Homo-oligomer: A and B are copies of this chain.
């Protein structure tokens, strides 16, 4: 089973690495990080680069496609080579998945028309433009399309996909290996629980825009 993770300039690191840490532990899974050009690809915060080991044209039929989000999505919404690649690998994928604003790329590729999908809370409403029905949920599965909310939600998405692909027993084993027993020291992780003033301030700020 091949899992392809799309990298591009200014993607969000945890969007890609959270799911990687889970999915790469499925017995028999092979993960490949792919980008337009092989080599180091910088994250949005610029102080980290992940290596893309394969060019897009080398990755032709992954079983799972995972598209992370990040401010760099804005540069790709009209980038036909990237959107074409997404459409081509989606033709034969078992699962096509995204984290955060990665769902906007799936939408721009035309894959979410008429489907329920989610995204980072800041850009959830942008999904309407692609004919999708935005859902404010942590993970949304509609057919073979699995989309996650912002950044850290990719971990929950990946565990859910692991259960569907490899069974509950493997998913539980992976959860225990990565000791995923979250205990956030604050309760501000969603627009439902964060102080309303904080939500409003972030909506208006570069901080949140930079995140998606």
Contacts and interface: CB of A to CB of B under 8 A. Distances in A.
Interface of A: 12-14, 17-18, 20-21, 24-25, 30-33, 40, 45, 47-51, 53, 100, 120-121, 138-139, 149-153, 155-156, 159-160, 163, 168-169, 171-173, 175-186, 188-195, 198-199, 201-202, 207-208, 211
Given A21-B151, A48-B17, A176-B198, A163 B186 contact: yes
Copies in the complex: 2
6 nearest A-B residue pairs (beta carbon)? A150-B179, A181-B189, A172-B188, A182-B182, A14-B21, A181-B190
Contacts of A152: 21, 155, 178-182
A75 B49 CA distance: 24
A160 to B, nearest CB: 5
B31 A45 contact: yes
Main secondary structure of the interface of A (DSSP, over half): mixed
Nearest to A163: B185
B207 A177 contact: yes
Nearest to A195: B172
Of the candidates A50, A100, A186, the one having the most CB atoms from chain B within 10 angstroms of its own CB is A186
Contacts of A18: 14, 17-18
Contacts of A151: 21, 177-180
B182 A189 contact: yes
A24 B63 CA distance: 33
14 contacts: A13-B17, A20-B48, A21-B151, A31-B45, A120-B179, A121-B179, A149-B181, A152-B179, A152-B180, A159-B185, A173-B198, A173-B201, A176-B198, A182-B184
